[in-house]
């Protein structure tokens, strides 16, 4: 006989009803009365409220005792049940087959039997439906049944139902748990008002042939409101499902819209692999542990976003296997399927064995494993008897005390992350860094990097106890740093001593932007004590001031003291002009998150344009200013390519050569090169492009904001550069749009570093340690700065540099604030 075991998993379905909202009083000023009338009014109001409260209380009591006991609610629980000694057959995938129905009957009978043994469940159960079967993941001769059970009960009995459901869970540590099956607790059970039949809105997909799933309406329209859509994915036996998101843009708040992916065919929470909303960053490739996966998209009434597109495929189950023996002197290893998220329920052991008399050292290059909990309760890496988890890179070097080392990795049944990559190497314990400098964390670096002013070890140990050279200054903590970094607004020493005593102002004084010193007591006192308004520029209230280089000019011609007031979400000018023209810098479906890493995501930089010379391919970058005009660099148009007809603009492009439904190409109507562009000094390296026909702006093609002439981009501020330019000096352009984060560099410092080739119409940005910069092919693209409201402004246009990404050689950009009126004059923007 087929044995149904009672290994059940319960998970209540949820109620996605939107909660009610309280509206604000329409106009609070209407409630104001003259003082004489006030007392009478208050007495009257008081009486009225008392009466109303009494009526309400009586009503509630009557309702509670007489009516509420009649209020009945429906509850749906989702569960799964293992059926042993039952080989899986293809018909079980088809709910209309007779085999499906007969096994479903059997499950139903078993459920009835289980419920009949509990008085609460027996009394309130309305019925159960089996929704799907899949192959058992532990025992190959078993089937897993997924079902929903509905209960109808008086509202006040909810607690006893929950208790009864919980009593069905087999005790922890029972046989089933040991076999790798987790029992579920019905947490957060919510009332389900309309009975949702999982069948109606579930799409069945077999992933044997690769394909894709799109959210409804994608990519032409946003997804519909108030919906719940499921995709049940199945692979062949002995395979896993791999799901790679190409686009995923939902509302930012997961309370409203979300997508959930389960390692199961039913939404059983302890098998939830991930929940996503907004514009997520990080790896968006997910792999199942077995041959099933469920994708669920739930949306609420308001604000609908583009949705998602995901590609599915099946991969052999072994592809997710990991661990093994490593016997080379050096090598790498990583979590299963890296850089995709690792599958749940993985367990790997790496045994490293290097030649005798050597020890092993391991360094992590990337690390994101589970949540950072004390004791690493969910997923972890174990090395030297120490469990590691969380998403902070473990920069220490782990070393063995023999020629062997064992590293383990474990993922639990839910919530996956990207995982890790690590490098290992054998070393001679008596001489761990032959010919190299040994850091305190046991890393080895080239001796030339010792005492060079840069933290090459990661723990600064290569920079302590050094004798500072002529071009260096000595920090209070003993580090030596290049003199250029003094007073650049960045704490390079680590103890801020390179930033101390930079302005002539004393401790109790504020240093104005125009260089004057005033007492800090005068800050925000509604008086322009600096004379340039900078003591009043970061206050709650803005002042009307005489216009200067440091004030924002409203359209009315009057000037305000507030720093960078444009598009900051607050009305500062009486004519509203600081908040006009703000349809820029945040794509229409916004995401406020900042994204790390190198390769950008599709739609992340919707103003980025690729300019092609017809027949030669990508040559320069540009930015969208509105539906007709682009901003770029003048040096992109040397005499031989000065004709607009030689060029084509690609908008909404992510990967060169891969145009898709949201890529647009345009011919150029005209190129306006700045009349004073100097091709030797690169002074005035700016140009405007008019397209031959207007663009339709959308999520993938959207303008960047132009700063007003007095917008302040202070030294030290972080900025993003983007482009398809070379990733190594002298290299070719790359296919996927790249991004990198740099910092704005103080002009005086920059002029020193680049030997006075830099003038005030230029702006420097980079990372002085080298390694991050724009390069050939990035020219014309934006240097983008985010304001406190998440809106992105173009601070510069990629112009020139000495080599690419060299130490102490920042990139140079055309300073857009200097050309604001020139842009306005030619484009009207
Ligand atoms: N002039 C280069 C181009 O045509 C851009 C150089 C930027 N270089 C730098 N190191 N930031 O693409």
Q: Which atom of ligand 1 is nearest to the CA of 809?
A: 10
Nearest to 753 by CA among 741, 745, 744: 745
Q: Please confirm whether the linkage preceding 251 is cis (ω < 30° from 0).
A: no
- Testing ligand 1's pocket by substitution, the residue of 613, 687, 807, 811 carrying the most ligand atoms inside 8 A of its CB is 811
pLDDT band at residue 595 using 50, 70 and 90 as cut-offs: very low
- 420 vs 173 pLDDT, higher one: 420
* Ligand 1 pocket test target in 762, 800, 806, 807 with most atoms within 8 Å of CB: 800
Binned at pLDDT 50, 70 and 90, residue 716 comes out as confident
116 DSSP 8-state letter:
H
Split at pLDDT 50, 70, 90, the class of 528 is: confident
Q: Which of 754, 778, 803 has the most ligand 1 atoms within 8 A of CB, as the residue to mutate?
A: 778
User: What domain range is 539 assigned to?
Assistant: 511-580
Could you read off the pLDDT of 808-827 as tens digits, one per residue? 789 999 999 999 999 999 99
Q: Whole-number mean pLDDT of the chain?
A: 83
- CA distances to 20, 238, 352, 403, 420 from 400, rounded to whole Å, are 60, 37, 10, 7, 19
Write the pLDDT tens digit of every residue in 436-447: 999 888 888 889
How many whole angstroms from 775 Cα to the centroid of ligand 1? 4
Lowest mean pLDDT among 34-38, 182-186, 554-558, 778-782: 182-186
Cα–Cα distance for residue pair 750/103, rounded to 1 Å: 76
Asked if pLDDT for residue 588 goes beyond 90, the answer is: no
The answer to whether 126 and 153 are in contact (CB under 8 A) is no
Can you tell me which atom of ligand 1 is nearest the CA of 633?
A: 4
Taking a C-beta distance cutoff of 8 angstroms, is the pair 420, 366 a contact? yes
- Indicate the range of 12-26, 67-81, 587-601 predicted with least confidence: 12-26
Buried b (16+ CB within 10 A) or exposed e, 527-537: ebbbebbbbbb
Query: How far apart are the C-alpha atoms of 494 and 463, rounded to whole Å?
Result: 12
| 642: pLDDT strictly greater than 90 | yes
| DSSP string over 259-321 | EEEESSSS--GGGEEEEE-SS--S--EEE-SSSEEEEEEE--SS----EEEEEEEEEEGGGG-
The Cβ of residue 559 has, within 10 Å, a number of other Cβ atoms equal to: 20
442 vs 377 pLDDT, higher one: 377
Q: 358 and 280 in one domain?
A: no
Model confidence at 80, in pLDDT bands (50, 70, 90)? confident
> CA dist 482 to 488, 490, 498, 508, 769, Å?
11, 13, 10, 29, 10
Strands (E) in 173-283, as ranges, are 202-206, 211-214, 228-234, 239-249, 258-262, 272-276
Q: What is the CATH number of the domain that holds 99?
A: 3.30.70.960
Separation of alpha carbons 565 and 579, rounded Å:
8
* Banded model confidence at residue 30, pLDDT cuts 50, 70, 90: very low
Q: Where in 328-358 does DSSP place strands (E)?
A: 330-334, 347-353
Locate the ligand 1 atom nearest the alpha carbon of residue 812 and give its number: 11
Span from the CA of 715 to the centroid of ligand 1 (angstroms): 21
What's the gap in Å between 658 CA and the centre of ligand 1? 24
Substitution candidate for ligand 1 out of 798, 803, 810, 812 with most atoms within 8 A of CB: 798
DSSP 8-state code for residue 483: G
* One domain, residues 629 and 669: yes
Domain co-membership, 786 together with 684: yes
Q: Is residue 673 part of a domain?
A: yes
Q: Number of structural domains, the chain?
A: 5
pLDDT-derived band at 44, boundaries 50, 70, 90: low
Which pLDDT value is given to residue 301? 85
Q: Is 609 contained in some domain?
A: yes
Q: Please give the DSSP secondary-structure letter assigned to residue 698.
A: B
Nearest CA to ligand 1 atom 9: 801
CA distance 555 to 522: 29
Tell me the torsion sign for CA atoms 705, 706, 712, 718. Answer: positive
60-64, 311-315, 770-774 — which one is most confidently predicted on average?
311-315
Banded model confidence at residue 178, pLDDT cuts 50, 70, 90: very low
pLDDT digits (tens, 9 = 90+) for 688-710: 999 999 998 888 899 999 999 99
Ligand 1 atom nearest to CA at 766 = 11
Kindly state whether residues 314 and 326 are assigned to the same domain: no
> Which of 136-145, 184-193, 570-579 has the largest mean confidence?
570-579
- Round to whole Å and give the CA distance between 539 and 376: 45
Average confidence (pLDDT) over 228-246: 93
Of 356 and 73, the one with more pLDDT? 356
Q: What's the CA dihedral at 24, 29, 33, 39 to 10 degrees?
A: 40
User: Which atom of ligand 1 lies nearest, measured to the CA of 778?
Assistant: 12
Strands 559-560 and 544-545: antiparallel
What pLDDT shows up at residue 752?
83
Q: Kindly state the DSSP code that residue 542 receives in the 8-state scheme.
A: P
Same domain membership, residue 693 and residue 740: yes
CATH number at residue 309: 2.60.120.290
Q: Which of 774, 781, 783, 812 to mutate to test the pocket of ligand 1 (most atoms within 8 A of CB)?
A: 774
Domain end residue (candidates: 318, 350, 373) = 318
What span, in angstroms and rounded, lies between the C-alpha atoms of 168 and 79? 11
Q: Which of these ranges, 166-175, 257-266, 351-360, 588-597, has the smallest mean pLDDT?
A: 588-597
> Is 779 designated active site?
yes
Q: What are the CA-CA distances from residue 84 to residues 3, 87, 149, 200, 819 (Å)? A: 6, 8, 21, 29, 75
Residue with tokens 């009960």: 153
Please state the pTM of the whole predicted model. 0.67
Mean pLDDT of 444-454: 84
Specify if 32 maps to a domain. no
Residue nearest to atom 2 of ligand 1 (CA): 776
- Is 75's pLDDT higher than 90? no
Answer left, alpha or beta for residue 97, where phi above 0 means left and psi between -120 and 50 means alpha: beta
What is the pLDDT averaged over residues 325-340? 95
Domain assignment of residue 439, yes or no: no
Phi, psi of 52 (to 5 degrees): -65, -40
Catalytic residue among 283, 461, 591, 779: 779
| Residue 685 appears among annotated catalytic residues | yes
Rg (CA), the chain: 32
What ligand 1 atom has the least distance to the C-alpha of 620? 12
618, 635, 654, 674: the active-site residue: 635
Predicted confidence band of residue 7 (pLDDT cuts 50, 70, 90)? very low
Where is average pLDDT lowest: 169-183, 437-451, 613-627? 169-183
Query: pLDDT grade, residue 756 (50/70/90)?
Result: confident
The verdict on 331 and 256 lying in the same domain is no
Please give the pLDDT value at position 170: 52
> Worst-scoring range by mean pLDDT, 66-80, 97-111, 131-145?
66-80
136 and 246 inside one domain: no
Residues 296, 254 within the same domain: yes
pLDDT tens, residue by residue, 734-750: 898 999 889 998 888 88
SS3 2: coil
**Which residues, in sequence order, are CB contacts of 416 under 8 Å at separation 6+?**
273, 274, 286, 341, 342, 343, 344, 379
User: What confidence tens digit (pLDDT) does each residue in 644-687 have?
Assistant: 999 999 999 999 998 877 899 999 999 999 999 999 999 999 99
State residue 40's pLDDT score: 55
Q: What is the pLDDT of residue 66?
A: 56
The pLDDT of residue 248: 87
Looking at the fold, whether 228 and 147 belong to one and the same domain comes out as no
Last residue within a domain, chosen from 382, 405, 427: 427
* Residue 572 maps to a domain: yes
30 assigned to some structural domain? no
Give the distance (Å) from ligand 1 centre to CA of residue 631: 16
The atom number, within ligand 1, closest to the CA of 773 reads: 11
What tokens appear for 652 in the block?
Answer: 């909404």
Give the distance (Å) from ligand 1 centre to CA of residue 83: 65
CA distance 644 to 694: 16
Rounded to the nearest angstrom, the distance between the alpha carbon of 780 and the centre of ligand 1 is: 9
Residues 477-516: tens digit of each pLDDT: 888 887 767 776 677 788 888 888 776 678 888 888 777 8
Q: Which of 620, 682, 725 to mutate to test the pocket of ligand 1 (most atoms within 8 A of CB)?
A: 725
Give which of 31, 19, 82 is closest to 300, Cα–Cα.
19
Is residue 501 in a domain?
no
CATH number, residue 773: 2.40.10.10
Confidence of residue 221 (pLDDT cuts 50, 70, 90): confident
Which of 291, 318, 345 delimits the end of a domain? 318
pLDDT higher than 70, residue 597:
no
Same-domain pairing of 664 and 767: yes
Judged against a pLDDT cut of 50, whether residue 180 lies above it is answered with: no
Lowest-pLDDT choice from 96-105, 528-537, 570-579? 528-537
Question: Does residue 397 surpass a pLDDT of 60?
Answer: yes
Distance between Cα 774 and ligand 1 center (Å): 6
Which atom of ligand 1 approaches the CA of 621 most closely? 12
Answer yes or no: do 119 and 214 share one domain.
no
Contacts of residue 727, Cβ cutoff 8 Å, sequence gap at least 6:
734, 738, 775
Cα 729 to ligand 1 centre (Å): 10
Is residue 635 among the annotated active site residues? yes
Residue with tokens 């009610």: 20
What's the CA-to-centroid distance between 798 and ligand 1, angstroms?
6
CA of 776 to the centre of ligand 1 (A): 5
Query: What is the reported pLDDT for 369?
Result: 96
Report the separation in Å between the CA atom of 773 and the middle of ligand 1, taken as the mean of its atom positions.
Answer: 9
535 within 8 A of 528, measured Cβ to Cβ: yes
Name the closest-CA residue to atom 11, ligand 1.
811
Q: Say if 145 falls within a structural domain.
A: yes
Collapsed DSSP state (helix, strand, coil) of residue 162: helix
Q: What is the pLDDT of residue 35?
A: 42
Pocket-forming residues, ligand 1, beta carbon under 6 Å: 725, 773-779, 798, 800-801, 804, 811
pLDDT score at 46: 61
CA of 765 to the centre of ligand 1 (A): 12
Which has more pLDDT, 246 or 6? Answer: 246
Q: Mind giving me the DSSP string for 43-103?
A: HHHHHHHHHHHHHHHHHHHHIIIIIGGG-EEEEEEEEEEEEES----GGGG-TTSHHHHHH
165 vs 16, higher pLDDT: 165
Q: Which of 535, 578, 683, 685 is catalytic?
A: 685
Based on the fold, state whether residues 561 and 605 are members of the same structural domain.
Answer: no
- Angstrom distance (rounded) from CA 807 to CA 304: 46
Ligand 1 atom closest to 803 (CA): 10
Give me the pLDDT at residue 45, please: 57
């Amino acid at each position: 006989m087929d044995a149904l075991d009672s290994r059940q998993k319960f998970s209540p379905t949820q109620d996605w009803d939107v909660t009610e909202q309280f509206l604000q009083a329409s106009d609070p000023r209407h409630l104001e009365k003259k003082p004489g009338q006030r007392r009478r009014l208050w007495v009257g109001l008081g009486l009225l409220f008392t009466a109303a409260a009494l009526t309400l209380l009586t009503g509630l009591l009557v309702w509670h005792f007489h009516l509420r006991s009649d209020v009945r609610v429906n509850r749906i629980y989702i569960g799964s049940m293992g059926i042993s000694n039952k080989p899986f057959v293809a018909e079980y995938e088809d709910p209309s087959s007779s085999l499906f129905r007969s096994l479903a009957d059997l499950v139903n009978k078993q459920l009835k039997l289980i419920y009949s043994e509990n008085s609460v469940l027996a009394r309130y159960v309305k019925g159960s439906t089996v929704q799907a079967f899949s192959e058992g993941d532990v025992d190959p001769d078993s089937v897993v049944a997924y079902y929903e059970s509905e209960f109808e009960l008086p509202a006040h009995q909810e607690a006893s139902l929950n208790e009864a459901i919980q009593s069905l869970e087999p005790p922890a540590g029972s046989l089933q748990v040991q076999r790798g099956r987790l029992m579920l607790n019905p947490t957060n059970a919510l009332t389900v008002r309309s009975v949702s039949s999982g069948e109606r809105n579930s799409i069945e997909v077999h992933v044997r042939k690769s394909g894709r799933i799109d959210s409804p309406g994608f990519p032409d329209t946003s997804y519909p409101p108030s919906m719940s859509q499921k995709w049940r994915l199945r692979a062949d036996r002995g395979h896993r499902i791999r799901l790679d998101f190409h686009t995923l843009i939902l509302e930012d708040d997961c309370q409203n819209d979300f997508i959930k992916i389960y390692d199961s065919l039913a939404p059983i929470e302890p098998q939830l692999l991930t929940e996503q909303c907004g514009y997520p960053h990080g790896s968006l490739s997910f792999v199942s542990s077995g041959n099933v996966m469920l994708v669920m998209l739930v949306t609420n009434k308001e604000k609908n976003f583009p949705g998602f597109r995901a590609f599915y495929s099946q991969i052999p189950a072994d592809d997710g296997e990991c661990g093994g023996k490593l016997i080379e002197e050096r090598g790498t290893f990583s979590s299963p399927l890296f850089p995709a998220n690792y599958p749940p329920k993985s367990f790997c052991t790496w045994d490293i064995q290097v030649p005798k008399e050597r020890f092993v050292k391991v360094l992590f290059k990337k690390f994101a494993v589970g949540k950072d909990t004390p004791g690493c309760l969910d997923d972890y890496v174990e090395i030297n008897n120490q469990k590691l988890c969380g998403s902070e890179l473990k920069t220490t070097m782990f070393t063995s005390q023999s020629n062997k080392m064992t590293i383990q990795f474990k993922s639990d049944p839910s919530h996956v992350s990207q995982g890790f990559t690590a490098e290992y190497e054998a070393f001679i314990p008596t001489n761990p860094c032959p010919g190299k400098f040994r850091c305190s964390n046991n890393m080895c670096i080239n001796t030339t990097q010792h005492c060079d002013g840069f933290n090459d070890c990661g723990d600064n140990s290569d920079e302590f106890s050094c004798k500072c050279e002529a071009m260096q200054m000595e920090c209070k903590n003993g580090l030596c740093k290049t003199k250029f970094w003094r007073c650049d607004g960045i704490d390079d020493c680590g103890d801020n001593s390179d930033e101390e005593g930079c302005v002539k102002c004393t401790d109790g004084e504020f240093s104005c932007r125009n260089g004057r010193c005033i007492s800090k007591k005068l800050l925000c006192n509604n008086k322009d004590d600096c004379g340039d308004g900078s003591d009043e520029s970061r206050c709650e209230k803005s002042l009307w001031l005489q216009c200067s280089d440091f004030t924002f000019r409203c359209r009315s011609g009057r000037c305000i003291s507030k720093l960078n007031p444009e598009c900051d979400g607050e009305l500062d000018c009486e004519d509203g002009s600081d908040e006009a023209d703000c349809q820029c810098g945040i794509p229409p479906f916004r995401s406020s998150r900042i994204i790390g890493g190198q390769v950008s995501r599709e739609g992340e930089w919707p103003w980025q344009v690729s300019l092609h010379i017809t027949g030669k391919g990508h040559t320069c970058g540009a930015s969208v200013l509105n539906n007709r005009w682009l901003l770029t660099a003048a040096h992109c148009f040397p005499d031989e390519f000065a004709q607009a007809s030689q060029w084509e603009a690609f908008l909404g492009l992510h990967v060169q050569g891969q145009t898709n439904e949201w890529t647009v190409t345009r011919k150029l109507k005209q190129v306006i090169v700045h009349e004073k562009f100097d091709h030797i000094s690169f002074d005035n390296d700016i140009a405007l492009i008019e397209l031959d026909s207007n663009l339709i702006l959308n999520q993938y093609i959207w303008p960047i904001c132009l700063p007003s002439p007095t917008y302040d981009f202070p030294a030290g501020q972080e900025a993003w550069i983007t482009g398809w330019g070379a990733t190594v000096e002298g290299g070719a352009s790359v296919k996927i749009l790249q991004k990198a984060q740099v910092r704005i560099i103080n002009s005086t410092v920059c002029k020193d570093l680049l030997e006075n080739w830099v003038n005030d119409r230029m702006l420097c940005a980079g990372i002085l340690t080298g390694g991050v910069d724009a390069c050939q092919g990035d020219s014309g693209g934006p240097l983008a700065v985010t304001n406190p409201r998440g809106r992105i402004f173009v601070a510069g246009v990629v112009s020139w540099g000495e080599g690419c990404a060299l130490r102490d050689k920042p990139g140079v950009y055309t300073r857009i604030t200097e050309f604001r009126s020139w842009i306005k004059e030619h484009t009207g923007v």
